[in-house]
Amino acid sequence: RPQEQFALETSEISKHFGAVKAVDELSISIPRKGMTSIVGPNGSGKSTLINLLSGTLPLDGGLVIVNGVGLQVVKAHETPAYGITRTFQEVRLFDQITVWDNILVVLTNRRVFPALMERSKQSHRDKARSILESVGMWEKRDSLAMELSYGQRKLLEIGRALALDVNIYLFDEPFAGLFPQMLEIIKDIMKRVRDEGRTVIFVSHNMDIVRELSDHLIVLDSGRLLAEGDVEDVLTREEVIEAYLGT
Ligand code: ADP
Ligand code: MG
């Protein structure tokens, strides 16, 4: 089958929480190549969109289209099979086990075991090492996840996503609250993933990084699409400038 131009599309997807239309009949198309960023004011539905694309939350309506195949139900445990994984705005790790074991849990597709490391195959151990080196966390491999700094936790969570070796990565606010040095490290990781030909989608409030990294931009406002397209083009549109100056 020929490769679809779009890695992910949505057709009028919605998610309501009571009276709040967190995502409201949203239709977007995310190109396979390059990076796409999702921006918008707090509460505009960015995380909810990531939750719907990754199956973390069920759709109230509409379709998510992965590689050209429309899905009405996206199940989180099945998304790796579709080639999708994600990170969370609030980092989720196994706090009581080591950095190394946090990666091995993903590679071996197991529930948490103490000292997983001891029993893992050499191939898994080699892969875990290369992932930890690639996110700059090799030195920390024997620390418990709970002992890590905020930035290190972000790096480890990204490492866990990379351990899944999929084609579409969704990163929810990977840059939030980080020091400049850490921003550079995470930018480099994301560029590397992109250069491997994978689709990278991230939520950010940092417009300098959005401009620098992304090719395609999606702007949300109150759960609806305010604008979508080439980054520089979208950022010069009147309605986008107004929305940003207005907040
Ligand atoms: P963003 O990530 O852009 O800041 P969210 O997607 O987190 O926005 O939230 C969009 C809207 O949906 C907000 O009004 C938020 O309060 C609401 N919301 C998000 N998740 C829930 C939830 N689990 N229960 C109730 N309301 C929610
Ligand atoms: Mg959010």
Please give the number of the atom of ligand 1 that sits closest to the Cα of 51: 6
Residue having the nearest C-alpha atom to atom 6 of ligand 1: 45
Rounded CA separation 246/241 (Å):
8
Task: Determine, yes or no, domain membership for 187.
Answer: no
Which CATH number does the domain housing residue 64 bear?
Answer: 3.40.50.300
- Calculate what percentage of the chain has a pLDDT beyond 90: 77
Q: Is there a single domain that holds both residue 73 and residue 174?
A: yes
CA of 228 to the centre of ligand 2 (A): 18
Residue in 14, 16, 20 to alter for ligand 1 test, most ligand atoms within 8 A of Cβ: 20
Q: Is 192 domain-assigned? A: no
Please give the distance, rounded to the nearest whole angstrom, from the Cα atom of residue 207 to the centre of ligand 1.
21
Closest to 195 in 3D by CA, of 228, 176, 169, 175 = 169
Residue 2 — very low, low, confident or very high, per pLDDT cuts 50/70/90?
Answer: low
Total domain count, the chain:
2
- CA–centroid distance for 208 within its chain: 19
Residue 232 lies inside a defined structural domain of this protein: yes
Q: Is the pTM of this model over 0.80?
A: yes
Is residue 208 domain-shared with residue 144, that is, in the same domain?
no
**Which residue lies with its CA nearest to atom 7 of ligand 1?**
47
Atom 22 of ligand 1: nearest residue by CA position: 17
**What pLDDT is stored for residue 118 in this prediction?**
64
Residues 211 and 148 in one domain: no
Ligand 1 contacts CB of residue 51 (under 6 A): no
The gap from C-alpha 95 to its chain's centroid, in whole angstroms, comes to 20
Question: Counting ligands in written order, which one lies closest to the CA of residue 41?
Answer: 1
Asked if residue 22 has its Cβ within 6 Å of ligand 1, the reply is yes
Residues 223 and 148 occupy one common structural domain: no
Structure-model confidence comparison of residues 121 and 194, the more confident one = 194
Q: What is the pLDDT of residue 116?
A: 64
pLDDT value at 165 more than 90: no
Indicate the pLDDT class of residue 10, thresholds 50, 70 and 90: very high
61 and 173 share a domain? Answer: yes
User: Residue 42 Cα, ligand 2 centroid: separation in angstroms?
Assistant: 7
Residue 81 — pLDDT band, cuts 50, 70, 90? Answer: confident
Say yes or no: 58 and 174 in one domain: yes
Is 101 a member of any domain?
A: yes
Out of 15, 17, 38, give the residue to mutate to test ligand 1, the one with the largest number of ligand atoms within 8 Å of its CB.
17
Q: Is the pLDDT of residue 114 over 60?
A: no
23 and 95 in one domain? no
**Any ligand 1 atom below 6 A from CB of 45:** yes
For residue 90, the ligand closest to its alpha carbon is 2
For all residues of the chain together, what is the average pLDDT? 91
Higher pLDDT, 68 or 62: 62
In a domain, 147, yes or no: yes
Nearest Cα residue to 45 out of 168, 224, 206, 172: 224
Tens of pLDDT, residues 196-229: 999 999 999 999 999 999 999 999 999 999 999 9
Testing ligand 1's pocket by substitution, the residue of 48, 170, 220 carrying the most ligand atoms inside 8 A of its CB is 48
Mean pLDDT for 112-137 is: 82
Domain that holds residue 133: 90-165
Q: Are residues 73 and 173 in the same domain?
A: yes
For residue 243, is it within any domain?
yes
Over range 175-182, report the average pLDDT. Answer: 93
Asked, for residue 22, whether it belongs to a domain, the answer is: yes
Ligand 1 within 6 A of CB of 46: yes
Instruction: Give the ipTM.
Output: 0.99
Q: Are residues 65 and 103 in the same domain?
A: no
Angle (nearest 5°) at CA 196 between 88 and 187? 50
Co-location of 94 and 63 in the same domain: no
pLDDT for position 58: 94
27 & 125 share domain? no
Q: Is residue 193 part of a domain?
A: no
* Confidence class for position 246, pLDDT limits 50, 70, 90: low
Exposure string (b/e) for 145-179, b if CB count within 10 Å is 16 or more? Answer: beebeebbbbbbbbbbbbbbebbbbbbbbbbeebe
**140 has pLDDT over 90:** yes
Q: Are residues 4 and 108 in the same domain?
A: no
